[in-house]
Structure 1
Amino acid sequence: MTASASTEPANSTHQREITIAHSPDSDDAFMFYGLATNKVRVAGYKFTHQLCDIEKLNQRAINEAFFDVTAISFHAYPYIQDKYTLMACGGSVGEGYGPMIVSSQRFTPTEIKKIKVAVPGMLTTAYLTLKLFAPEIETEVVPFDRIIPEVIAGNYQAGLIIHEGQLTYSHSGLHKVIDLGQWWREETGLPLPLGGNAIRRSLGEDVMLKVTHALRDSIQHGLDHREEALQYAMQFARDLEPDMANKFVGMYVNERTLSYGADGREAIRKLLDLGYERGIIPHPVKVDFVG
């Protein structure tokens, strides 16, 4: 049985609770709008949501395998692959765009490799891609929402930005050094897979399929009811204007979010395989999907 959009009350008896964790960002909120507001329901299931910074979710998935469904950076997947599998939907994929290195003064991509860069976490896909681009680069972890202010303050010459900062950095007078999503496209011809949703293998195949179908229905519901979903997502947009929030959501919640496609799946495997080959990821990765 798959989920379907419904306004009928769900059967409250013998409901199985599924815990879902994702980051407090407008694109994730848009994606989970249908489930979070009970527009999409599954008979016999109750979905509870927790919001948390993506690097903390990465760490919790590794250390505890706590949530049934969790948003993760693809870079974190090798460390949780025994306990989680990837859902076939719900990914954030950059189509020739992605995390950026920005700076307060103009640097070339060659010059930036010799400068310490503030990064949003060692398990983020942004960090993995940065290390593929510049293996010897020096980095320091800074909370993602503090990177732009720290660069402006002069505490770092450059920062690796994710989330809405990709659209707002220039408002702060910062300069783009390189877009790693564009670099990855030029290197591989593939989109850059940034984050996805993972589901605990111990739930069993039947439950994993039902929950994955529910997420796909939630994404489709948001795309079909864009105005309402955007209004809901705006509370997580970190002061973005509505038109900018709409643009950001459109970058990372689209047809690719419903299905990675053959090239999207290839991109995930290539990214993680390269990470292993270059010594960034310590062991081989077996990528599999449910749904």
Structure 2
Amino acid sequence: MTISLAISPCPNDTFVFHALVHGLVPGAPAVDVTYADVDVTNTAAERGAYDIVKVSYAALPWLLDDYELLPCGGALGRGCGPLLLTRTGTADLTGATVAVPGDRTTAYLLFRLWSADRPPARIEVVPFHEIMPGVAAGRYDAGLVIHEARFTYPRYGLTALVDLGEWWENDTGLPIPLGAILARRGVVDPVAATGWIRESVRQAWADPTASRDYVMAHAQEMEPDVADRHIALYVNDFTADLGRDGHAAVDALLRRAADAGLTPQISSSRATAWTS
């Protein structure tokens, strides 16, 4: 048996899934892995393209009929939210062009919730790696960034207009639900998959150096210290188990989005990960 897995090439995903991808998890099947940005996996999952897949929590309302949310392996946390960057530091986005990394990303959903009472901006979906250079060059008035951009945006001469994670935490008291791990219903046993991923996480923490070459090979020319900070920020207790706060954060995000008419309504049972 071989399962198909899609994750991003970001250090947190390669760190977490190193053992599973490399056949180091006892009892787990062989893995055929695809590396793609989350905007790509969000769309591919709608076609049922992968058995286990990393997607944005914001995309769950379109996916949970075919996939089950797993309680581990994803990205939630505190102090790790998306940033809205500008070149000029102006807070007025009336008529501005804002580059976003995907129209079903959690970053964009948080932006839409935050900006609900503000004048509308023009939105352009842009590959993540092009956002900061594009804002710096004046092609976009602002850009919504995630992941390691938290550490590198000053290099581009940019200013953080708002930390949407900080806004979310202050407003809800909950962590930020960024990336989810889903298992395809009727194809992958969610109980077994949860065990495989938790063991992969355990091995990653037990020997962080074991995945070093693998992480850096996919880190898109990222400096080692930035990769280390990326992992430290996004791989945390929620990676091993969503727990009560993690589930509450997911529920709050999807409920607010549906109430605002930004996403379809889903049942609470569909949004609850399998737990043991």
Q: TM-score range by the shorter chain?
A: over 0.9
Shift of 1:197: 0.5
Structure 1, unaligned stretches of length 5 or more?
1-15
The aligned counterpart of 1:3 is: none
What value does the CA root-mean-square deviation take over the aligned residues?
1.5
Give the Cα–Cα distance (whole angstroms) in 2 for the partners of residues 142 and 112 of structure 1. Answer: 18
Give the Cα–Cα distance (whole angstroms) in 2 for the partners of residues 58 and 153 of structure 1. Answer: 29
The aligned counterpart of 2:74 is: 91
**Mapping of residues 66-105 of structure 1, within 5 Å:** 66-105=49-88
**Mapping of residues 87-126 of structure 1, within 5 Å:** 87-108=70-91, 111-112=92-93, 115-126=96-107
The aligned counterpart of 1:213 is: 195
Give the Cα–Cα distance (whole angstroms) in 2 for the partners of residues 196 and 72 of structure 1. Answer: 5
Shift of 1:20: 0.7
Give the Cα–Cα distance (whole angstroms) in 2 for the partners of residues 246 and 35 of structure 1. Answer: 20
Give the Cα–Cα distance (whole angstroms) in 2 for the partners of residues 282 and 78 of structure 1. Answer: 6
1:129 to 103, 110, 134: 110
2:176 to 192, 198, 216: 192
Give the Cα–Cα distance (whole angstroms) in 1 for the partners of residues 112 and 267 of structure 2. Answer: 18
Instruction: Check the 8 A contact 2:62/2:264 in 1, yes or no.
Output: no
- Say which one has the larger Rg: 1
User: Match of 2:150, as an amino acid?
Assistant: Q
The aligned counterpart of 2:2 is: 17
Instruction: Check the 8 A contact 1:96/1:184 in 2, yes or no.
Output: no
Give the Cα–Cα distance (whole angstroms) in 2 for the partners of residues 196 and 289 of structure 1. Answer: 10
Give the Cα–Cα distance (whole angstroms) in 1 for the partners of residues 249 and 265 of structure 2. Answer: 18
The aligned counterpart of 2:166 is: 182
Percent identical pairs in the alignment equals 35
Give the Cα–Cα distance (whole angstroms) in 2 for the partners of residues 272 and 76 of structure 1. Answer: 9
User: Match of 1:208, as an amino acid?
Assistant: P
The aligned counterpart of 1:264 is: 246
Give the number of equivalent residue pairs.
Answer: 270
Instruction: Check the 8 A contact 2:77/2:236 in 1, yes or no.
Output: no
Give the Cα–Cα distance (whole angstroms) in 2 for the partners of residues 228 and 242 of structure 1. Answer: 14
User: Match of 1:278, as an amino acid?
Assistant: A
User: Match of 2:81, as an amino acid?
Assistant: G
Give the Cα–Cα distance (whole angstroms) in 2 for the partners of residues 46 and 75 of structure 1. Answer: 29
1:242 paired with 2:221, answer: no
State the TM-score, normalizing by the size of structure 2: 0.93
Instruction: Check the 8 A contact 2:80/2:147 in 1, yes or no.
Output: no
Deviation by residue 1:47-79 (Cα, 9 ceiling, x = unmatched): 2211112111100111x1121100000011100
The aligned counterpart of 1:158 is: 142
1:49 paired with 2:49, answer: no
1:37 paired with 2:25, answer: no
Give the Cα–Cα distance (whole angstroms) in 2 for the partners of residues 257 and 97 of structure 1. Answer: 13
Partner of 2:209, secondary structure, is helix
Instruction: Check the 8 A contact 1:97/1:180 in 2, yes or no.
Output: no
Structure 2, unaligned stretches of length 5 or more?
none
Give the Cα–Cα distance (whole angstroms) in 2 for the partners of residues 246 and 236 of structure 1. Answer: 13
Give the Cα–Cα distance (whole angstroms) in 1 for the partners of residues 20 and 230 of structure 2. Answer: 21
User: Match of 2:33, as an amino acid?
Assistant: H
Shift of 1:244: 1.8
User: Match of 1:72, as an amino acid?
Assistant: V
